[in-house]
Amino acid sequence: MRQFRALTFGLLTLSACGSTSGGSVNGSVAGYSLHVVETAFLNLPESEDSPASTLIWFADRHDLCKGLQTGAWGKNTTTFAIDLMPTPPSPGTYSVAADQPPRAFAVFVKQDDRCNELTWTPATSGSVALDSIQLLGRAKGTFDMNMSGDQLTGTFDAVYCEPPSSHRTITCG
């Protein structure tokens, strides 16, 4: 779990994309809902802490890739991240909490106006149906997750974001 948490915050190193994206998140977690404005995905290389994976990120703001590239993450954000293994992924069903690939992890995060986490809630069960993926284009699919007692369902049509060549420092605001 610690590795996934580090991985999701490591996502703050995405590069900018110019395409529009979409998706939906139905339901709420710890009383917080997410109105999806943009979605993005990227292929994360293997690191000292984590295996290679594909991360699909949902956010309640515009310019997701640009903000992630610069490290300027806005205040009062709500996000949802789905991590798929193995990578590169292929269309199919990825189960949450599975021991063997194909598997998925997910986390829902709500931050306040000082970028403090109000909730950081992992998925405890569920699945992701990856309908299609173009590794430098778009990833499309659906999900149905139990988030530690709260239920989330939804869709994604995420644009690809290339990871930058160096780490970015995260700033609030």
pLDDT the model gives residue 165: 62
How many Cα atoms within 13 Å fall on the side-chain side of residue 49? 11
Q: Measure the CA–CA gap between 102 and 95, rounded to whole angstroms.
A: 7
More confident residue, 162 or 155: 155
Q: Measure the CA–CA gap between 11 and 29, rounded to whole angstroms.
A: 21
Query: What's the mean pLDDT in 86-110?
Result: 90
How many Cα atoms within 13 Å fall on the side-chain side of residue 154? 26
Q: Where are the domains of the chain?
A: 2-161
Q: Measure the CA–CA gap between 112 and 101, rounded to whole angstroms.
A: 35
pLDDT the model gives residue 42: 84
pTM of the full predicted structure? 0.84
Q: Measure the CA–CA gap between 31 and 8, rounded to whole angstroms.
A: 21
Beta bridge partners of 109: 79, 120
pLDDT in tens, 19-69: 567 899 999 999 999 999 999 998 878 877 778 889 899 999 888 887 767
More confident residue, 9 or 51: 51
